[in-house]
């Protein structure tokens, strides 16, 4: 039996790495711009903001919430990956739904384009202006409005940082149903607008299921109050879903009611080594079957991802070197039961030779250390220079073939080809890197990777969205009729096209 009372390495004790856990707020400064990885578009027929327009916003928000300072603007004009820099001359920082309503009413009348921005951690260029769109920053919309301890329904403004909501919910012995590596910076409004997946999807499912209601402001300034705190509410079309995952193109989400779940008191993380991807699949299958009521995360990374962590962040995996690593998190209320179930599962995996090394942690410091190996890969990749980032859903049998195929195709033209992701959800993150941007590499990857994915009935965007980067490939996953209807809805809800232009729709 493996004692679960503290961290414990089983099978073959190996060098435990320096898993220095770092707060999830990112301050990374040394990347090159890779403008050419973005699709090209022409500026829409929008007005350029004049001093009269600025005066209007100054009168509404005051000087401190109407940003024109060059250095501050730069932060809001640049995406997290440092892959694009917009030219917005103005960032507005409203505090209330009513202020947003006034802003949009004005912008719609004046035909001024607007780019909604949450924590600006998006990875597909959705959150930054492409030209000179006015940035509508949600940073100051960060109030928690209500928490119902009977139902776990948390109502808040959309600019609340995800990690703050989690801490708040934890104080009440609840947990928020979404978690991701960017939790220290991303906002719940950004999570909803991208329909973020993340690390708990395998347990709690999509935000479409966990958001009970929301408030949004439409392009013409009208406030659409779809707030609801009931679990069951079948009263006509469920309009909140129009705003979840539409990446700020149909309205600005200003408030939301999120269903939180009672927090499990006992959690354990197992970090396992596999020699083949077939073993990874078998491990996933057995873990799902053996721990159905306990499983809260099922993630994987390959050795190339581990090498990137080691080389760029000095973060090493806590077990001996393997081609693949699987991270399993279980959560429950009874540590003895957890221990028994996890031990049975790991014994079976070992007996059947699906895993050949592993470590378990139950204390929070070591669990965080194990988690940082998975969560910090994106950050580690940034140090490589130029990244080519793909967020693909695939049937599990094809999950890692994508990485193998791309590795063969790209050969020595790239520095790294890395595969990791949400094994439990069939969502692989394939990343390639070069020192400088290389158009030949990009052309070798796209459209090939998307066509390959679609031929296997996968999705070209599992969780990050379409943003600005993938608009021309939307047609690979959606029919002409579906895109036609999306465009009709966009015209109906935003006839002047002022909300996040150049994003989502081709």
**Residue from 166, 302, 357, 463 in contact with ligand FAD (CB under 6 A):** 463
For ligand 2HG, the binding residues in 409-438 under the rule CB under 6 A are 421, 429, 431
Position closest to ligand FAD via CB: 190
193 binds ligand FAD (CB under 6 A): yes
421 binds ligand FAD (CB under 6 A): no
C-alpha span between 313 and 379 (Å, rounded):
9
Helix axes 335-351, 277-290, angle to 10 degrees: 150
**Residue from 4, 103, 135, 138 in contact with ligand FAD (CB under 6 A):** 138
**Residue from 121, 296, 393, 471 in contact with ligand FAD (CB under 6 A):** 121
Contacts of residue 8, Cβ cutoff 8 Å, sequence gap at least 6: 2, 359, 360, 361
State the binding string over 371-390 for ligand 2HG (x if CB under 6 A, else -): -------x----------x-
Please report how close the Cβ of residue 81 comes to ligand 2HG at its closest, in angstroms.
9
Q: Which two tokens stand for residue 449?
A: 């990777």
State the binding string over 52-91 for ligand FAD (x if CB under 6 A, else -): ----------------------------x-----------
471 binds ligand FAD (CB under 6 A): no
Neighbouring-strand partners of residue 421:
300, 428
DSSP 200-251: THHHH--HHHHEEEEEEE-TTS-EEEE----S---SS--THHHHTTSTTSS-
Q: Taking contact as CB under 6 A, which single stretch among the options 30-38, 182-190, 222-230, 273-281 is the one that binds ligand FAD?
A: 182-190
State the binding string over 339-378 for ligand FAD (x if CB under 6 A, else -): ---------------------------------------x
**Residue from 163, 166, 247, 494 in contact with ligand FAD (CB under 6 A):** 247
C-alpha span between 288 and 376 (Å, rounded):
25
Q: Which of ligand FAD, ligand 2HG, none binds 431 (CB below 5-8 Å, type-dependent)?
A: ligand 2HG
Strand, coil or helix: what is 70? helix
Please report how close the Cβ of residue 425 comes to ligand 2HG at its closest, in angstroms.
10
C-alpha span between 5 and 319 (Å, rounded):
19
Surface-to-core class of residue 484, CB atoms within 10 Å of its CB (0-12 exposed, 13-18 middle, 19+ buried):
exposed
**Residue from 181, 273, 358, 465 in contact with ligand 2HG (CB under 6 A):** 181
C-alpha span between 270 and 411 (Å, rounded):
33
Q: How many residues bind ligand 2HG (CB under 6 A)?
A: 7
- The dihedral built from the CA positions of residue 249, 250, 253 and 258, taken in this order, carries a sign that is negative
Please report how close the Cβ of residue 424 comes to ligand FAD at its closest, in angstroms.
12
Q: Identify whether the C-beta of residue 366 lies closer than 8 Å to the C-beta of residue 359.
A: no
Residue with tokens 């990137």: 308
Q: Which is nearer to ligand FAD, 206 or 347 (CB)?
A: 206
Among residues 202, 459, 205, which one has the least CA distance to residue 327?
Answer: 202
Residue with tokens 């009729």: 481
**Residue from 158, 297, 331, 434 in contact with ligand FAD (CB under 6 A):** 158
Please report how close the Cβ of residue 118 comes to ligand 2HG at its closest, in angstroms.
16
Chain centroid to CA 230? 27
Q: Which is nearer to ligand 2HG, 22 or 275 (CB)?
A: 22
**Residue from 86, 94, 116, 332 in contact with ligand FAD (CB under 6 A):** 116
Q: Which of ligand FAD, ligand 2HG, none binds 366 (CB below 5-8 Å, type-dependent)?
A: none
C-alpha span between 141 and 373 (Å, rounded):
32
Q: Identify whether the C-beta of residue 298 lies closer than 8 Å to the C-beta of residue 287.
A: yes
Neighbouring-strand partners of residue 136:
92, 116
Q: Which of ligand 2HG, ligand FAD, none binds 469 (CB below 5-8 Å, type-dependent)?
A: none
Pinpoint the alpha helices (H) of 352-479: 364-375, 377-382, 401-410, 439-445, 448-455, 474-477
Please report how close the Cβ of residue 88 comes to ligand FAD at its closest, in angstroms.
12
For ligand 2HG, the binding residues in 348-367 under the rule CB under 6 A are none
Q: Taking contact as CB under 6 A, which single stretch among the options 111-119, 206-214, 343-351, 400-408 is the one that binds ligand FAD?
A: 111-119
Please report how close the Cβ of residue 217 comes to ligand FAD at its closest, in angstroms.
9
Strands 324-332 and 386-393: unpaired
Neighbouring-strand partners of residue 300:
326, 421
- Which residues would be at the binding site for ligand FAD (CB under 6 A)? 80, 116-123, 126-127, 138, 158, 180-182, 186-187, 189-191, 193-194, 196-198, 247-248, 252-253, 378-379, 463-464, 467, 500, 503
- Which residues would be at the binding site for ligand 2HG (CB under 6 A)? 181, 378, 389, 391, 421, 429, 431
């Amino acid at each position: 039996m493996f004692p679960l009372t503290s961290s414990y390495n089983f099978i073959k004790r190996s060098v435990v790495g320096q898993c220095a856990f770092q707060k999830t707020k990112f301050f990374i400064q040394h990347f090159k711009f890779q403008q050419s990885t973005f699709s090209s578009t022409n500026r829409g027929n929008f007005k350029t903001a004049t001093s009269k327009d600025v005066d209007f916003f100054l009168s509404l928000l005051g000087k401190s919430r109407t940003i024109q300072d060059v250095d501050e603007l730069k932060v809001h004009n640049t995406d997290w990956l440092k892959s694009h820099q917009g030219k917005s001359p103005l960032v507005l920082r409203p505090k209330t739904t009513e202020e947003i309503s006034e802003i949009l009413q004005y912008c719609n009348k004046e035909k001024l384009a607007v780019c909604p921005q949450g924590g600006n951690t998006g990875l597909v260029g959705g959150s930054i202006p492409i030209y000179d769109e006015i940035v509508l920053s949600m940073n100051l919309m960060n109030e928690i409005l209500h928490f119902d301890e009977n139902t776990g329904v948390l109502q808040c403004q959309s600019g609340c940082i995800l990690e703050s909501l989690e801490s708040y919910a934890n104080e009440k012995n609840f947990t928020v149903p979404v978690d991701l590596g960017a939790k220290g910076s991303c906002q719940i409004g950004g999570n909803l607008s991208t329909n973020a997946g993340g690390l708990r999807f395998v347990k709690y499912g999509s935000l479409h299921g966990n958001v009970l209601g929301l408030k949004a402001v439409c392009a013409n300034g009208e406030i659409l109050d779809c707030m609801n705190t009931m679990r069951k509410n079948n009263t006509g079309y469920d309009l909140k879903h129009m705003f979840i995952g539409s990446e700020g193109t149909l309205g600005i989400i200003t408030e939301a009611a999120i269903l939180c779940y009672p927090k499990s008191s006992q959690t354990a993380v197992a970090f396992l080594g596999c020699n083949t991807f077939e073993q990874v699949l078998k491990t996933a299958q057995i873990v799902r079957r053996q721990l159905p009521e306990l499983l809260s995360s099922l993630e994987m990374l390959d050795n190339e991802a581990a090498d990137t962590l080691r080389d760029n962040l000095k973060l090493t995996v806590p077990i001996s070197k393997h081609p693949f690593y699987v991270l399993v998190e279980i959560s429950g209320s009874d540590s003895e039961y957890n221990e028994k179930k996890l031990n049975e599962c790991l014994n079976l995996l070992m007996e059947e030779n699906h895993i050949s090394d592993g470590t378990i942690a139950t204390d929070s410091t070591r669990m965080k250390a194990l988690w940082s190996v998975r969560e910090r890969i994106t950050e580690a990749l940034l140090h490589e220079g130029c990244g080519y980032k793909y967020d693909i859903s695939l049937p599990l049998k094809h999950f890692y073939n994508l990485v193998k195929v791309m590795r063969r195709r790209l050969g020595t033209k790239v520095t790294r080809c890395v595969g990791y992701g949400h094994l439990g959800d069939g969502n692989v993150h394939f990343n390639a890197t070069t020192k400088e941007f290389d158009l030949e590499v990009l052309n070798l990857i796209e459209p090939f990777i998307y066509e390959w994915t679609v031929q296997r009935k996968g999705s070209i965007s599992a969780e990050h969205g379409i943003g600005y980067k993938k608009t021309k490939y939307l047609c690979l996953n959606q029919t002409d009729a579906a895109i036609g209807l999306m465009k009709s809805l966009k015209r109906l809800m935003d006839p002047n096209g002022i909300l996040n232009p150049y994003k989502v729709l081709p």
